[in-house]
């Protein structure tokens, strides 16, 4: 598959929207996470629309809400914006309380189409990989960075594995499941 100029435009938009954003613990540029999620999506068979959505999966939630949704729809079409919407657990600031927001999003994912589940699973896999790396550097202090603490964060990631299982490539779910299990054992 060849990626079109739409992909390049999405990459530029993602880099611009998230230019000042850093990863929570490592402090690395956030765009690295977006590229990693996109890479995972492509590795597991996603097409261009899914790859574009992977680059923009946090844009509505973290970078502007409804106006950003409209811009994504205008520039990349209804399929991409629907996938990004499916990855979004809140489009308002301040965000609603963490646990209820996550529970609602998980309920949505249990019925979500394959494209949404693919991008969400890729996002969760990259997040867990990063969290495992940072846990090895910081130990238990890692949990202070997360609203759910250790218990809530592990609950959420385990529940996310099960929520996307119905529509995600089996190899991706298995890898995500292994990484979450590894984290649960620490």
Q: What is the pLDDT of residues 133-149, one digit of tens each?
A: 999 999 999 999 999 99
Average pLDDT over residues 106-121: 98
86 class by beta-carbon count within 10 Å (0-12 exposed, 13-18 middle, 19+ buried): buried
Assess if CATH 1.10.3210.10 describes domain 5-185. yes
Q: pLDDT at position 34, please?
A: 98
pLDDT band at 9 (very low <50, low <70, confident <90, very high): very high
pLDDT band at 173 (very low <50, low <70, confident <90, very high): very high
- Bond preceding residue 116 cis, omega within 30 of 0: no
- For the chain, the structural domain boundaries read 5-185
Percentage of the chain lying above the pLDDT 90 cut: 97
Do residues 61 and 41 touch, judged by C-beta distance below 8 A? no
Active site residues: 61-62
Q: What is the pLDDT of residues 70-107, one digit of tens each?
A: 999 999 999 999 999 999 999 999 999 999 999 999 99
> Mean pLDDT across the chain, nearest whole number?
97
């Amino acid at each position: 598959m060849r990626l079109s100029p739409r992909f390049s435009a999405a990459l530029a938009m993602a880099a611009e929207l998230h230019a000042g954003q850093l990863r929570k613990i490592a402090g690395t540029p956030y765009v690295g996470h977006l590229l990693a999620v996109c890479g995972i999506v492509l590795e597991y068979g996603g097409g261009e629309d899914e790859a574009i959505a992977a680059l923009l999966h946090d844009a509505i939630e973290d970078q502007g809400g409804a106006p950003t949704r409209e811009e994504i729809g205008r520039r990349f079409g209804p399929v991409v914006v629907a996938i990004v919407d499916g990855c979004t657990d809140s489009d308002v600031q301040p965000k609603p309380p963490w646990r209820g927001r996550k529970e609602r999003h998980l309920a949505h994912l249990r019925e979500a189409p394959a494209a949404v589940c693919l991008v969400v699973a890729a996002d969760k896999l990259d997040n867990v990989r990063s969290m495992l790396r940072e846990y090895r550097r910081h130990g238990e202090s890692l949990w202070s960075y997360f609203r759910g603490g250790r218990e809530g964060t592990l609950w959420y990631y385990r529940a996310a594995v099960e929520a996307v299982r119905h529509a995600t490539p089996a190899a991706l779910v298995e890898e995500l499941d292994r990484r979450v299990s590894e984290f649960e054992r620490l």
